């Protein structure tokens, strides 16, 4: 990663599934990350330097259209954030000083407000919200072991471990009907796309490639899954500033095809769900140096 983030230009783009055309809706200096699409299709939520911002999908040519979301004490949010199925709340992963700089999951009103703490254990990084609004899926490191996938009630309480075994599991996101969780796993010796039932059973590898595949996001209509591929094997890492490419899998046929050419990206490009609510478009971030 460059030593000076200010030397990076972040470009937030939207890709049309029907035509393959891409349009830029925002460019800004510094590292903006992880667009979430609002349930009404009108705005994106992105993060930069620990804060969350609201950005109209209609686009802008400067920072004037960025509106800071009030997250009160949670001013060290990372790029693992999202919007509830009902569109009324945001989930965030905030690095709390009381937890030795480790990430903790909170929820708060979509227009800002006091965060409610969901996970007592840490580190915990959010990635998926069940369609019925009741459960959160996330990645967590416990007792010095490899990071695994867990779920928990949106109201907190006991967490449930969903994946086991050696190697990193990451990026869980629920299918449109809540039956499955798609995720990426190193279980095969290379980071690839997998799927399991939402209760943590029936783990199936869905994609096999020579790259490192990360962050699968099922479409709201239940037909497609978009994911990020590092063109060179990154072992178990997902660094910023690498050659990457977006791919799409048709769920019915399980065929996979590229939907972008290679670009400079990686960490921050599509860490979280970023489909438009009608499944017609997909938001992501590319970066430029200098």
CB-CB contact of 69 with 53 (8 Å):
yes
pLDDT at 286 over 50: yes
The confidence score (pLDDT) of residue 122 equals 93
Structure tokens at 152: 């928990």
Structure tokens at 47: 């993060």
Closest CA to 280 of 69, 52, 14: 14
How many domains would you assign to the chain? 1
**CATH code assigned at 120:** 2.120.10.30
**String of b and e for 222-260 (b: at least 16 CB within 10 Å)?**
eebbbbbbbeeebebebebbbebbbbbbebeeeebeebb
Stated pTM of the model: 0.96
How much is the average pLDDT of 101-116?
95
Task: Tell me the percentage of the chain whose pLDDT exceeds 90.
Answer: 91
In which domain, by residue range, is 276 found? Answer: 5-289
Q: Looking at 165-239, which runs of residues are DSSP E strands? A: 169-174, 180-185, 192-197, 204-205, 212-218, 224-230
What pLDDT digit, counting tens, does each position of 158-198 carry?
A: 999 999 998 999 999 999 999 999 999 999 999 999 999 99
């Amino acid at each position: 990663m460059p030593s000076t983030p200010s030397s990076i230009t972040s470009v937030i783009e939207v890709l049309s599934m029907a035509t393959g055309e891409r349009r830029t809706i925002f460019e800004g200096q510094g590292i903006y990350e992880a667009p979430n699409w609002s349930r009404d299709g009108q705005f994106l939520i992105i993060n930069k330097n620990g804060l969350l911002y609201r950005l109209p999908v209609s686009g802008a040519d400067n920072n004037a259209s960025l509106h800071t979301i009030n997250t009160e004490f949670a001013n060290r949010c990372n790029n693992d954030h999202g919007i509830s199925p009902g569109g009324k709340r945001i989930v965030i992963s905030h690095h709390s000083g009381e937890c030795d700089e480790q990430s903790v999951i909170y929820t708060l009103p979509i227009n800002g407000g006091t965060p409610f703490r969901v996970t007592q254990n840490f580190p915990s990084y959010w990635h998926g919200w069940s369609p019925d609004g009741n459960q959160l899926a996330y990645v967590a490191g416990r007792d010095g072991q490899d990071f695994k996938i867990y779920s928990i009630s949106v109201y907190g309480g006991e967490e449930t471990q969903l994946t086991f075994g050696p190697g990193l599991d990451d990026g869980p996101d629920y299918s449109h009907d809540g039956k499955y969780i798609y995720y990426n796993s190193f279980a095969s010796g290379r980071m690839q796309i997998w799927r399991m039932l939402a209760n943590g059973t029936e783990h199936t590898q869905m994609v096999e490639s020579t790259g490192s595949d990360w962050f699968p996001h099922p479409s709201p209509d239940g037909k497609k899954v978009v994911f990020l591929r590092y063109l060179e094997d990154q072992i178990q890492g997902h660094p910023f500033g690498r050659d990457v490419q977006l791919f799409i899998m048709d769920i019915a046929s399980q065929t996979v095809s590229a939907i972008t050419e290679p670009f400079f990206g990686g960490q921050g490009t599509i860490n979280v769900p970023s489909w438009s609510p009608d499944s017609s478009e997909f938001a992501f971030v590319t970066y430029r140096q200098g």
